[in-house]
Amino acid sequence: MTHTTPPPTPDAKTYAMPTMEWRPEDNIPECVKSQLSNMGHSLLPHPLPFFHIIQELKIKKRTGWLDFQIWPCESIADHMYRMGVMTMLIRDPNVNKDKCTRIALVHDIAEALVGDITPCDPFVNKEEKHRRELATVEYLCEKFIKPYNEIAAEQLLNDWWDYEECRSMEARYVKDIDKYEVLLQCFEYERLYKGEKNLQEFFTAVELIKTDEVKSWINEVVCQRDHFFENVNQICI
């Protein structure tokens, strides 16, 4: 894999606190803006504009990797896809795995418009991130999904809140898998870069994993990572 230079991480003006409040409707893709204006303000009876918006998740790269000049790197959709697959392997019989998969696939959906904001973003704090993401999920459900499928809109919003407030055991597992997936990706990038990049700052999240099953998953990653860095000079000659 050739490592070309990454595009610049969004700079200060991108995230600097705007004079106007950030709104989802100001951040939809141009092709959707023109579809909206052609359809007037009538409710959207077709799913196509929403599917165009979801493409943004396939395009937008995860900021945490851009911060470390990892390029090429995964998109937001890549992250949620692997989480979805991971939820299918949960062995705990008391958990509704299908609900876990739904939550995994929508938990970062607002990032299609908001973008991927890291916990250490200097310009957007946790409260503002939540405000933008909530406004976006409500906007997507009300404007783009509900006119086509009201039940789907209600379920997506409910699943998103479930995750956001960790309202269920399913959400608890998905939050653990969110941390597990990023840490596994860290280790995979550290290995890809032959130890040149050390993503140790991400691994404080290990202590935040609560379920025994995902704890057993991350323990194996930590064990393999420790072994890798103990021997990186021999392994990567």
Ligand X SMILES: Nc1nc2c(ncn2[C@H]2C[C@H](O)[C@@H](COP(=O)(O)O)O2)c(=O)[nH]1
How many residues of this chain interact with ligand X, rule: CB under 6 A? 13
Q: Which of residues 139-178 bind Mn ion (CB under 5 A)?
A: 178
Cβ closest to ligand X, residue 30 vs residue 207: 207
| C-alpha–C-alpha distance, residues 128 and 107, integer Å | 17
Supply φ then ψ for residue 116, to 5 degrees: -95, 105
Q: Which of residues 203-232 bind ligand X (CB under 6 A)?
A: none
Looking at this protein, which amino acid is placed at residue 124?
A: V
Whole-number minimum distance, CB 95 to ligand X, in Å? 20
Cβ closest to ligand X, residue 72 vs residue 119: 119
Q: Which of 126, 112, 97 is nearest to 60 (CA)?
A: 112
Strand locations in 128-209, DSSP E? none
Whole-number minimum distance, CB 128 to ligand X, in Å? 14
Is 184 in contact with 83 (CB distance < 8 Å)?
no
**Binding-site member from 108, 116, 159, 162 for Mn ion (CB under 5 A):** 108
Q: How many residues does the chain have?
A: 237
**Binding-site member from 67, 128, 138, 213 for ligand X (CB under 6 A):** 67
Sign of CA dihedral 105, 60, 18, 25: negative
**Binding-site member from 92, 196, 201, 226 for ligand X (CB under 6 A):** 201
For residue 55, give Cα distances in angstroms to 51, 83, 202: 6, 18, 27
Whole-number minimum distance, CB 195 to Mn ion, in Å? 26
18: partner contacted, choices ligand X, Mn ion, none (Cβ within 5-8 A by kind): none
Positions that interact with ligand X (CB under 6 A): 62-64, 67, 108, 116, 118-120, 178, 182, 201-202
